Chain A
Amino acid sequence: MQHAITAPLKVEQVNLPGSTLGISTKAMLIGLVTIGAGFLLDLMAGPKGLYHFAHAYLLGYFFCLTIALGALIFVCLQRLTKAGWSVVVRRLAEIVAGTMPALAILAIPVLVFMHQLYPWTHEELVANDAILLGKSAYLNTPFFLVRVAIYFAVWIFISRSMLSLSVRQDDSGDLALTHKAERLSAPAIILFALTITFAGFDLLMSLDPHWFSTIYGVYVFAGSMIGFLSVAILGVKFLQSRGVLRDVVTVEHFHDLGKLLFGFTMFWGYIAFSQFLLIWYANIPEETIWYEHRMSHGWGWVSLALLFGHFVLPWCGLLSRQVKRAEKGLVFWAAWQLVMHLVDMYWLVMPALNLAHGQEGGPGYAPAVHSGFPLHVLDALCVLGFVALFVGLILRSMRGVSLVPLKDPRLGEARAFHNF
């Protein structure tokens, strides 16, 4: 039974200072230049280089996309459940999700490099492969483009509506806006569930077009939530270091974010284990091949790193209440999980590079050519470039926007929030 805190907020608590906003342009420039440098580098490496660049670009891109998607579903869930505690961090999530139009533009290179990424775009290969022929009603270039357009249309619509409903309330304080956002959230979550699932199938699962798993969409969702929650914890800490959100987001809110991070770490482990166990146990070659690629030729170490680094260690680390409430402890594990989320994405995308190389030349669907572990400077350039670009995009969207929903009817409740 806490009584709402209604004391007014100071400007420096809610608006990012100009000095920090200034970083955004620089960060975006650095990001673009880094990715561009990667592209030039791959041109020098010959035709194979283009393959590597395409995959590295997809890796960096999908990493940022999952974070934005995690933010989007976070906003919808908080709206749907009429949550009180999360109001103070909801604006950050709205802003991260609000970068969706920019992410849609950044998806264009993925479509340009489709041929290098997706074996099912090779026409003669499909013609000679009964399985791919059977899927060609779904896996074909025009339909793929239409689907990607639909996904982004849905995401842009939801994220921009949520952001605008929330920002408009900052001025008017109109309660109808809260109702509107809550009413939108339920259908939005359904649309979100379908789009993130099929986006996962299309952009990642079809890298190996023979393979399939019904749980894949849930897996992508679990990873997205880990990605976003880590970013939220790190982001709020960063903003607080710049003076914003101080005394608004308290240790209680960090504790809750930490609990959610802990919960989704467990959820990710549960989903990953379910998928692995069922495929391992049934031992059907057409399914096990996907894990075979990820458990041999050096990839076994990455798989183990995921098991321990993305689940066992952070689970143990975040178990304790003290750690979740300790400033350094939570930041450490959030940063750790963000890096491990990147490793997870790397683990999903990069083994397909060998498969893509295998399709070069031959008319039949060739098994992956293992050239060992394809770690390359391109990966680093694309990932770092995307991180810089994404940070810049987010900071840029903070211009002129209050970082706290100032007139949200539940703000007082959120500020007074205490864990039991």
Chain B
Amino acid sequence: MNPMEDKLRWLEKAGDADQEAPQELHGLLAEFETPEALLEACTKVRDAGYKKWDALTPFPVHGIDEAMGIRMTILPWLSLGAGLTGLMIAFALQIFTNGIDYKFLISGKPFISVPANIPVAFELTVLLAAFTTFFGMMILNFLPELFHPLFRAKRFPRMTADRFGIYIESKDPLFNRQQAELMFSRLGASALEPVLSPTKRAPLPGVIHGVGLTLTLVALIPVALAVKSRFSKSDQPRIHIIQDMDFQEKYKTQTAHPLLYQGAASMQPVAGTIRRGDLREDGHLYRGMAGDEFARGFPMALTQEMLVRGKQRFSIYCAVCHGATGYGDGLVAQRAEALAEGTWVPPLSLHEAVVLDQAEGQIFNTITHGIRTMKPYGSQIDVQDRWAIVAYVRALQRSQRATLTDVPPDVRAQLSQ
């Protein structure tokens, strides 16, 4: 034995303590040379009525399940259950994340796209079923089981290589050493070995406890840190392990620069530069305001073309609710009345006194920003068209309360007929 191995004696010593402890009989191991002899022996042991016994083979021997009377495991059912669970989880996860919690449209697909969810659903089904199969097999077999009295039997090592064994535990109610030895001899066992186990297992060496405790404590440190930072506040910027371009080597506004004009990092705009929004200085035209009040009158001259344009735009955007004549009887309003769902606020008739008294600027403002349930139209209708609509609304209002004096004198005669 070389010195290296000498130093590793402590590994062996863990076993020595067990060796020196008082022993008791754990069971009887019989060795067989061929699978055929084993199968025959298994049938006999089964028929003799033993319960706590097992066969040891280096590979799965065909037909041993029947010979030993092993019942079918429930493992397939566990896998099936796990697979179905995986399927449910996958669909629930995908529907919740992309269909409910964080909706976003991608390549025109519905938020809940079942065909697109199938690949992940399939993978999770297999993942859960496969892991359950493996760990289920381990748990049902009570593995890992790093110590077993058999591991100290002299005959045992070859049973994972080229020999076959039957092991009867002494706990079996039928167990009687002489009888069992006799039975195995009759069955053609090539060797017999009683297997001992210490009455009391030696405690684990202190060093293992120490290492285990230390490792556990060390493993808890990151968790503790995470918990601490979750419940504490700090005004320090977070630690940037990776910069992600958050801190760039560049000059910001209001900082000095040694080379540039007047030593300022950001240059002054050239003369004549217009501020953002400066082009919309005209409050009347763009906002319908004169100072803090709604402007009266139009910011431009009224023309026939403007009225025609206003009528056309009105028919497109307004008439569906307000009606072609502005009485609030558009098709949408009629339909909503018919449905009578109770949530509908009918559009105002444009011939009500409220509207008649409004400044042109206010009507413009209403079109731009909407009012109550009426949506804003500023983004759809440009400024000139909005004024054209206002002009047409005024024309509509006037048409409904016209007097004879409004009719041009040369056609008055026709009316009076």
Interface residues of A (CB under 8 A from B): 1, 273, 276-277, 280-281, 283, 420
User: Counting CB contacts under 8 A, is B233 at the interface?
Assistant: no
Query: For residue B108, which residues in chain A have a CB less than 8 angstroms away from its CB?
Result: 283
Residue from A1, A281, A420 with most neighbouring chain B CB atoms (10 Å): A281
A281 B115 Cβ-Cβ under 8 A: yes
Task: Considering the complex, give the chain A residue whose CB is closest to the CB of B116.
Answer: A281
Q: Which of B116-147 contact A (CB under 8 A)?
A: 116, 118
The size bracket of the interface on B is under 10
Once bound together, how far apart are the Cα atoms of A276 and B118, in whole Å?
12
Answer yes or no: B238 CB below 8 A from chain A CBs. no
Q: How far is the CA of A242 from the CA of B160 in the complex (A)?
A: 51
The chain B residues found within 8 Å of chain A, CB to CB, are 62, 107-109, 115-116, 118
Residue of B nearest to A277 (CB): B115
Contacts of B107 in A (CB 8 A): 281, 283
Q: Are B62 and A280 in contact (CB under 8 A)?
A: no
- Which 5 A-B residue pairs are closest in the complex by CB-CB distance? A277-B115, A280-B115, A283-B108, A1-B62, A276-B115
A273: which B residues are within 8 A, CB to CB? 115, 118
Nearest CB in chain B to that of A276: its residue: B115
The 15 sampled A-B contact pairs (Cβ below 8 Å) are A1-B62, A273-B115, A273-B118, A276-B115, A277-B115, A277-B116, A277-B118, A280-B115, A281-B107, A281-B109, A281-B115, A281-B116, A283-B107, A283-B108, A420-B62
Q: Which residue of B lies closest to A320 (CB)?
A: B76
Docked Cα-Cα span, A273 to B118, in Å, equals 10
Q: Is the interface of B mostly helix, strand, loop or mixed?
A: mixed
Complex CA–CA separation, A283 to B115 (angstroms): 13
Q: Is chain A's binding surface mostly helix, strand, loop or mixed?
A: helix
In the bound assembly, the distance between CA atoms of A288 and B81 in angstroms comes to: 37
> CA separation between A280 and B114, bound complex, in Å?
11
Chain B residues in 8 Å Cβ range of A1: 62
User: Could you tell me the distance between the alpha carbons of A183 and B154 in the complex, rounded to whole angstroms?
Assistant: 55
In the complex, what distance in Å separates the CA atom of A420 from the CA atom of B61? 11
Residues of B near A281 (CB, < 8 A) are: 107, 109, 115-116
Knowing that A273-B115, A273-B118, A281-B116 touch, tell me 12 more A-B residue pairs with CB under 8 angstroms: A1-B62, A276-B115, A277-B115, A277-B116, A277-B118, A280-B115, A281-B107, A281-B109, A281-B115, A283-B107, A283-B108, A420-B62
Please indicate the chain A residues that have their CB under 8 angstroms from the CB of B109 in the complex: 281
Q: Measured between alpha carbons, how far is A280 from B116 in the docked complex, in Å?
A: 9
B265 to chain A, nearest CB (A): 50
The distance in angstroms between the C-alpha atoms of A1 and B60, with both chains bound, is 13
The docked-state distance in angstroms from the alpha carbon of A410 to that of B320 is: 83
Query: Closest CB-CB distance, A308 to chain B, in whole Å?
Result: 13
> What is the chain A residue whose CB lies nearest that of B119?
A277
Nearest chain B CB to A418 CB, angstrom units = 9
**Min CB–CB distance B413 → chain A (angstroms):** 61
CA distance A188 to B174 in the complex (A): 64
Tell me the bound Cα distance from A360 to B115 in angstroms. Answer: 36
CB of A369 to closest CB in B, whole Å: 28
Query: In the bound complex, how far is the Cα of B411 from the Cα of A82, in angstroms?
Result: 107
Q: Which residues of A contact B116 (CB under 8 A)?
A: 277, 281
User: Inside 8 A of A277's CB, which chain B residues have their CB?
Assistant: 115-116, 118
Report Cα–Cα, A280/B118, bound state, in Å: 13
Q: How far is the CA of A281 from the CA of B117 in the complex (A)?
A: 12
For the complex, what is the distance from the CA of A71 to the CA of B108, rounded to whole Å?
Answer: 44
> In the assembled complex, how far is the CB of residue B163 from the closest CB belonging to chain A, in whole angstroms?
20
Using CB atoms, name the residue of chain B closest to A283.
B108
Find chain A residues with CB under 8 A from B118 CB. 273, 277
A273 to B116: give the CA distance in the assembly, Å.
11
**Shortest Cβ gap from A255 to chain B (Å):** 16
Specify which chain A residues have a CB less than 8 angstroms from the CB of B115 in the assembled complex: 273, 276-277, 280-281
Cα-based distance from A420 to B118 in the complex (angstroms): 32
CB distance from A25 to the nearest CB of B (A): 49
A273 to B108, CA, bound (A): 20
How many Å from the CB of B116 to the closest CB on chain A?
7
Give Cα A277–Cα B115 distance, bound, in whole angstroms.
7
**B-side contacts of A420, CB under 8 Å:** 62
Minimum C-beta distance from A224 to chain B (A): 25
Please give, as numbers and ranges, the residues of chain A lying within 8 Å of B62 by CB-CB distance: 1, 420
Interchain CA distance A26-B396 in the complex, whole Å: 87
Rounded to whole angstroms, the CA-CA distance of A273 and B115 in the bound complex is 9
Nearest residue, chain A, Cβ from B109: A281
